[in-house]
A = this chain, B = another copy of it.
Amino acid sequence: MAYQDTFELQTRGRGTTEITSRVAQVVAASGIATGVAHVYVQHTSCSLMITENADPDVLKDLETLARRWAPDGDPAYRHDAEGDDDMSAHGRSILTGTSVSVPVGNGKLLIGTWQGICLWEHRTHAHTRTIVVTVTG
Contacts and interface: CB of A to CB of B under 8 A. Distances in A.
A98 B2 contact: no
A103 to B, nearest CB: 4
A90 interface: yes
Copy number in the complex reads 3
Interface residues of A, number: 63
A112 B61 contact: no
Interface string A13-33: 000000000000000000010
A49 B114 CA distance: 20
B4 A44 contact: no
A71 B38 CA distance: 31
Given A100-B98, A136-B137, A61 B44 contact: no
